[in-house]
Amino acid sequence: MRFLTWRRPTHNEHVPVGKTLLLFSDQALHSRLKVFASNPVAIVLTAVVVIVALYGCTPTFYWIPSAALSTAIFTAVANLVTPPKQVSTFIRASPIEAVTWFTGVMVSVFSTIENGIYTTICESAALLLVCVAMPRGRSWDTFA
């Protein structure tokens, strides 16, 4: 947005959005943004459709062949395969988390996926506890 020679920085757009949120009601804001599907009735209707579809479609999974289901699962999981260049980027960014990732992959390959998930959750929780127990920053006592 230009006004004479002054140009507003794009990182300051949160200020007008905040003013709009404070000045206008929820419905006025939606009508101003041309978003009509975000009202409570639409949310409830969407929830009802999803619940009915889940209850109605679950028995039909029995009739879908296992090969078709495994193909759908394989297609979804195939997108999770990480190229070697990305793996090297992960290793350079955080070697400890790369070890967690590698351990999870190896446990999933040689055991079960469930064990791989549990392994990575436990390793991540242990890493979180260690990082919380031993922070790298200085405490307020050392500033005085």
Closest among 79, 85, 120, 114 to 102, alpha carbons compared: 120
Is pLDDT of 14 > 60? Answer: yes
At residue 111, the pLDDT reads 92
Q: Where do the structural domains in the chain lie, given as residue ranges?
A: 18-58, 77-135
| Alpha helices, DSSP H, located in the chain | 14-23, 26-33, 40-57, 66-78, 84-93, 95-110, 113-133
What is the percent of the chain where pLDDT is above 90? 14
Higher-pLDDT residue of 131 and 14 is: 131
What is the average pLDDT across 70-94? 80
What is the average pLDDT across 49-69? 78
Non-local (6+) Cβ contacts of 93 within 8 A are none
Calpha distance 53→49 (Å, rounded): 6
At residue 121, the pLDDT reads 94
Is pLDDT of 103 > 90? Answer: yes
What is the percent of the chain where pLDDT is above 70? 65
Higher-pLDDT residue of 1 and 85 is: 85
Query: Are 97 and 127 within 8 A, CB to CB?
Result: yes
Instruction: Kindly state the helix (H) or strand (E) to which residue 2 belongs, with its residue range.
Output: strand 2-3
Non-local (6+) Cβ contacts of 7 within 8 A are 1
